Amino acid sequence: MATLDCYSLMIVSKYFQLFSDYENVECVCKKFAHNMERFHYNPIPMNKKTRKFFPKVETQHLYSKNDIWFNDGLIFKHVIWYEVFYHNTFPQKEHGNVCKRILYTEMDRLMNGNSTIPNDVCSLGNRCYQFANVKELVIPQNVTSLLNACFYGCVQLTKLQLPTTLNSVDVNALIQCTNLINLIIPNYLATINNNVLFGNERLLGLNVFSEQFNVNGKKIQTTKQVTSFTVPNCFTGIGTSCFANCESLQTIVIPQNVLYIGKKCFAHCDALRTIIIGKGMNQLISESIDESSHITFQSL
């Protein structure tokens, strides 16, 4: 602390989480006195008792729905950090306020149409697009999460591009999107939960741009017209019956980093003749093929 000047201390103190931390630091030495008075925004929630300690605040940050809104003539702008429905953001924008976490709901989608999602949306809500009449959709870059059953029953959806900002896809997000054939998945997608793709038996164009990806034993089937398929390097597991009944599949390449291959993964793939796999992977695949099949194994 002794090596910090007052302005450096101000920068450090904006990461404090308790009001008592701000009180205590001002007691360390004289140069740190009046630290709270230097802030033009509140780095922590304010209440009626602590408001007077931040007298120069002009922009109030609201961190939860329970925070008190101060309109005392000294504050000219509010920044809202808790989740706000998209249709509730318009009055805030009219007053010059900023909403940082905007949730797009089914009501919002019905009001704005199916074809585009506003660029300032951060999350697509539960069943937001359920049964929507949409064929292709590009989710904007600001979106970080898809909530439960977000695209449930979008039977006409054929192509979906997920943004690079996405870090979570919730349970059943794409359930019963039976005609989805092209799913573009971004880098660093942290969480894809079970049943995300359940019922998508025609999924073919799975473009994954991530170095680490786990399909949680999820069933992904290609169409019958596919003759060859290369499992992306980012996959660490292939689910049960994943390629079952792919009647035209002749060749498949499985990278070394695949650690799990589910039972009957290649059941009834009558045309399958070649499986190209990494060294030592033969045991992994033993229960995934039919005993009567005539398959040749090749090493990568």
The SS3 of residue 19 is: helix
List the beta strands (DSSP E) in the chain.
59-62, 77-85, 98-104, 123-124, 136-138, 145-146, 159-161, 168-169, 182-185, 191-192, 205-208, 228-230, 237-238, 251-253, 260-261, 274-277, 296-299
Distance CA 219, CA 244 (A): 10
> Tokens 């359940």 belong to which residue?
198
The pLDDT value recorded for residue 189 is 52
Amino acid in the structure at residue 145: S
Handedness of CA 100, 90, 64, 50 (dihedral sign): positive
Q: Which residues contact 196 (CB under 8 A, 6 or more apart)?
A: 169, 170, 171, 172, 173, 174, 175, 218
Taking only the tens place, the pLDDT of each residue in 7-21 is 999 999 999 999 999
Closest CA to 293 of 262, 257, 265, 261: 265
Residues in the chain: 300
Mean pLDDT of 158-165: 85
The pLDDT value recorded for residue 186 is 59
Closest CA to 86 of 50, 110, 59: 110
Structure tokens at 247: 């009647």
The pLDDT value recorded for residue 185 is 65
Number of other CB atoms surrounding residue 7 within 10 Å: 9
Distance CA 266, CA 281 (A): 15
Predicted TM-score (pTM) of the model is 0.67
Q: Which range is least confidently modeled, 145-154, 231-240, 288-297?
A: 231-240
Taking only the tens place, the pLDDT of each residue in 17-59 is 999 999 999 998 888 999 999 999 999 999 999 999 999 999 9
Distance CA 260, CA 41 (A): 51
CB 281 within 8 A of CB 258: yes
Structure tokens at 8: 């450096």
Taking only the tens place, the pLDDT of each residue in 236-286 is 777 677 777 777 778 888 888 787 787 777 888 888 889 888 877 766 777
Amino acid in the structure at residue 283: Q
Closest CA to 53 of 18, 17, 21, 22: 22
Phi, psi (deg, nearest 5) at residue 174: -120, 25
